[in-house]
């Protein structure tokens, strides 16, 4: 199924909240994504990202608030592969990813601000399943996110 955020906005009007354009790029093998969200807040430490993606995704989207850091990558090819293998619909990173060539061939939607070759530290510091905010919106676990080349949108209920 192809997700078209413009059509979802037209069809659902006030039920949809648009994330402010911040330069998110589609970097996964799927050009779009959609599903219920799980959140993670961690700055330049992706140990909790691994922990989350090791769990069954059940079609969820992992929203990672990396503080917008452009100094290292919160997701690389090994973590994206975990997401694929464990049934995650996608990953949204308010920050960077790496191994973008490999990730672009994987059956998962990945959106991030950019790429960076440096990996993070692994201290396990961060918070899971808490509200996170960026792009003028607050992402709450259990809400739904949809993303494509036109942008990211949020809804309290599933739209598809």
- pLDDT in tens for each of the 160 residues of the chain? 799 999 999 999 999 999 999 999 999 999 999 999 999 999 999 999 999 999 999 999 999 999 999 999 999 999 999 999 999 999 999 999 999 999 999 999 999 999 999 999 999 999 999 999 999 999 999 999 999 999 999 999 999 9
Instruction: Check: pTM over 0.85? Answer yes or no.
Output: yes
CB distance 116 to 46 below 8 Å: no
Distance separating alpha carbons of residues 150 and 101, to the nearest angstrom: 22
Q: What is the pLDDT of residue 146?
A: 98
Q: What is the DSSP letter of 150?
A: T
Q: Both tokens of residue 54?
A: 């090791």
Distance separating alpha carbons of residues 58 and 60, to the nearest angstrom: 6
Distance separating alpha carbons of residues 147 and 109, to the nearest angstrom: 9
Distance separating alpha carbons of residues 100 and 90, to the nearest angstrom: 14
Question: Superfamily assignment of 5-153 in CATH?
Answer: Ribonuclease E inhibitor RraA/RraA-like (3.50.30.40)
CB distance 94 to 66 below 8 Å: yes
Q: Both tokens of residue 17?
A: 């909240």
**Three-state DSSP state, 16:** strand
Q: What is the pLDDT of residue 3?
A: 96
Helix boundaries (H) for the chain: 5-12, 47-53, 77-85, 100-103
CB atoms within 10 A of CB 56: 9
| 93-106 core/surface letters (b: 16 or more CB in 10 A; e: else) | bbbbbbbbeebeeb
């Amino acid at each position: 199924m192809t997700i078209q955020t413009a059509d979802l906005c037209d069809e659902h009007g006030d039920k949809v909240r648009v994330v402010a354009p911040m330069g998110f790029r589609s970097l996964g093998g799927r050009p779009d994504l959609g599903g219920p969200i799980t959140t993670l807040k961690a700055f330049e430490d992706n140990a909790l990202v691994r922990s989350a993606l090791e769990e069954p995704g059940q079609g969820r989207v992992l929203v990672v608030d990396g503080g917008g850091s452009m100094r290292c990558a919160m997701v690389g090819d090994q973590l994206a592969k975990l997401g694929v293998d464990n049934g995650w619909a996608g990953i949204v990173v308010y920050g960077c990813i790496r191994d973008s060539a490999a990730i672009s061939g994987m059956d998962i939607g990945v959106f991030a601000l950019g790429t960076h070759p440096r990996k993070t530290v692994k201290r396990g510091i961060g918070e899971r399943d808490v509200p996170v905010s960026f792009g003028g919106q607050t992402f709450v676990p259990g809400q739904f996110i949809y993303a494509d080349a036109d942008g990211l949108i949020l809804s309290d209920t599933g739209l598809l």
